[in-house]
Structure 1
Amino acid sequence: MRSKWLLYALLVAGCLLLLTGCGNGTRVESDGDAFYRGTDDTGAEVVVAEKPHRIVSLGRGMDEILLGIAPPEQIAGLTSTVDDPGISCMTEEARAVSVKLKDRSPERVAALDPDLVLAIDGTPKELVDSLRDLGIPVFVSRTPNNLDDIFARIETVGCLIGQEENAAALIAEKRTLLADVERRVGDIPEEERPIVVAFAFSGVFGRKDGLFDDMCRRASLRNGVAMAGLTATTAVSMEQVVALNPDVFLLPTWS
């Protein structure tokens, strides 16, 4: 039975991980002259004059948030990878949006006549600056450090695009899933919790106090590489991974 809920916990964590590309939310300020006024995760001011109706996403995490809370007619473009079932959990919903951007040049994005662009911290700064120079509002999100950061980002995107109720419903749905996992596996003693080691194509990932580490804690799992000392500045060797004797390896399959 425990193995069943281990699998369930991993699946829930995996679905939430697909919503990354987000960060801490900012408070909306209303001044009568703008629909939204605030700052993004880089500290840049973002002013949206009216409720946006032609939103372009430049990050898969933003794709999936948009598809979860916005009607298709409010979305002008998504990234090309949102159609790939190997890394996207919203492929069915994405069919309703016709434009999927492979070419993310300023000219191609601007040609969609967006009234809001949602970017992530991996978006080239030159692209963000070029779009802003054209007068297009761009909100840049940083990678979240924990699940609460993800929920805060969903809330902020809801405010940005005028879909607060849908954002609140999505957050409530995901919190219910997490509560169910914690109810079923939360009483497993620390020393009995399975050790999980996750890999990206570049090697192990899941630094201490990062997003994946938080997911493991919520699912009553032990993040092996955090146990071995992986941080933003400290690497972990394969010998250290082997010494952990992990119960589960999470391996990438997407190419």
Structure 2
Amino acid sequence: MFFRIICGGLLFAAVFLFMGPAQADKPKRIVSLSVCADQYVLGLVEPDRIAALSEDARNPHISLQYEKAKKITITRGTAEEILLLKPDLVIANRWRGLKTIEILRQSGVPVLMLSLPVTYNQIEAETRKVAEALGEMEQAEKLLFQLKNTMQLDAPIHGPRAAYFMPGGYSAGQNTFVEMVLHAAGYRNLASELGLKGWSSLSLEELVLKKPDVLVMSFFTKGKYSLSTRLRQHSAMQELMKSTPVIDVPDKYWACGGWFLYKAIHYLKEKKT
């Protein structure tokens, strides 16, 4: 009997050591504080390990995995509310809720901060970083395969010239994940050809003058009229849209940069004429 107990104990210890810390100590009460973080968490772990998601997780317009989020607790993101959830890992973005993050860290809660990746290599590194913290490296490789499998890795030379346009007259030039998506789908980026970098304004006059091959739009909520969206109703824009193909990419396909951009790439490839 004693011998069997000792052998059983040694076997358990061997299994534990084989699992390693990434397997043995996987976080089991994960809290996500942004729609971008939500997509990583929902894509990498099972729902029973998620203590809460952000308020945007169930928004069908901007959350790709909103269906999976329906049965998971939602948090408004206050420090008090999060601490009551007793999380063993919080995942957040660097550009929001910094005071909350400070309080959480002072309370001893582990926090993983996401960056804003704009290239495939950066998305790959970011996905693996999150996966390592969650103990889900194998799942991360499956997600990255979905993205890489859709991509045209070299920027197109003769593809259609696309003008990306969003509310407020903004476009996406060099060093944005929108440009990465356009190139991956086989389009040239008009904003970059005009020398724009990052998220920059593109005037309606310049847009009409340059005559792009295709207009790519997002975040113009249907049925909603506001100062930021009225540019789409402008007479000059309406005339341009009559003579130029328009691709309305669902917002949730590229609300932010990450492994889930494969949906935007695939969508743009399907719509390419």
Q: TM-score, normalised by structure 1?
A: 0.71
Contact 1:146–1:215 (Cα < 8 Å) also in 2: no
**Greater helix share, 1 or 2?**
2
* More off after superposition, 224-233 vs 214-223: 224-233
Shift of 1:91: 1.5
Shift of 1:141: 1.2
Give the AA of the match of 1:248.
Answer: L
- Is residue 2:173 matched to residue 1:194? no
Larger Rg: 2
The one of 66, 74, 82 aligned to 1:100: 74
Shift of 1:168: 1.3
Give the AA of the match of 1:253.
Answer: F
Shift of 1:195: 2.0
Contact 2:173–2:199 (Cα < 8 Å) also in 1: no
User: What is the correspondence of 1:176-191 to structure 2 with a 5 Å cutoff?
Assistant: 176-178=149-151, 182=152, 190-191=157-158
Shift of 1:76: 0.7
The one of 237, 241, 245 aligned to 2:207: 241
Contact 2:35–2:54 (Cα < 8 Å) also in 1: yes
Q: TM-score, normalised by structure 2?
A: 0.66
Change in CA separation of 1:233 and 1:161 when aligned onto 2, cut-off 3 Å: closer
Contact 2:34–2:54 (Cα < 8 Å) also in 1: yes
Contact 2:172–2:179 (Cα < 8 Å) also in 1: yes
- Is residue 2:32 matched to residue 1:57? yes
* More off after superposition, 150-159 vs 241-250: 241-250
Percentage of identical aligned residues? 26
- Is residue 2:45 matched to residue 1:87? no
* More off after superposition, 222-231 vs 111-120: 222-231
Contact 1:228–1:240 (Cα < 8 Å) also in 2: no
Shift of 1:249: 3.0
- Two-structure CA RMSD over aligned residues (Å): 2.6
Q: 2:184 and 2:199 mapped to 1: Cα distance?
A: 24
User: What is the correspondence of 1:1-255 to structure 2 with a 5 Å cutoff?
Assistant: 35=21, 50-97=25-72, 99-101=73-75, 103-178=76-151, 182=152, 190-191=157-158, 193-232=159-198, 235-246=201-212, 247-254=214-221
Q: 2:164 and 2:61 mapped to 1: Cα distance?
A: 16
Give the AA of the match of 2:65.
Answer: M
Change in CA separation of 1:55 and 1:240 when aligned onto 2, cut-off 3 Å: same
